[in-house]
Copies of this chain bind each other. A is one copy, B any other.
């Protein structure tokens, strides 16, 4: 019997390691800070928090905003922190190459006429150039991060990887377009 991976659990515990957060806050973090490598909808986060509470990895205090709006602010327990650090120190086998619908389409593109092939590639290039532009703009916030022990420093390394990945993806698409444009 294989153990489950439960990556969402560790993503949540990792975020709670440095800040106490509500489910709503966590969902914002996934959409902002982690969006380049992980995501989770609130419909997945809330049940996971419930489970983690039952398992004693996190606990929560109820805060009231205004007169009656309840907010559950979660914090990590000692057991949760221990569990997280154990996970972080474990080397997992390399992830298999992620699925990619675009590459699947391109693989089958011999069944497409020439215009459709180029259209497919150009649309994809346009989208990825926009993403690259957006990523490059977000690198500026790391300009004066120098402490190689800070969370921000690792954030900047991940961001650098995302920029490099998008640059290469765009270069590849440009090569494909050039070669197919007789």
Binding site for B on A (CB under 8 A): 5, 7, 10-11, 14, 17, 33-39, 84-85, 88-89, 91-92, 94-112, 116, 119-120, 123-124, 127-128, 131, 148-151, 153-155, 157-158, 160-162, 164-165, 167-169, 171-172, 175-176, 179-180, 182
Query: Which B residues touch A106, using CB under 8 A?
Result: 154, 157-158
Chain multiplicity (copies)? 2
B179 touches A172 (CB 8 A): no
Query: Which B residues touch A91, using CB under 8 A?
Result: 119-120, 123
A164 touches B154 (CB 8 A): no
Query: Which B residues touch A103, using CB under 8 A?
Result: 36-38, 158, 161
Bound complex: CA of A2 vs CA of B182, how far in Å?
39
B157 touches A179 (CB 8 A): yes
7 contacts between A and B (CB under 8 A): A36-B97, A94-B127, A94-B128, A160-B175, A161-B169, A164-B171, A165-B168
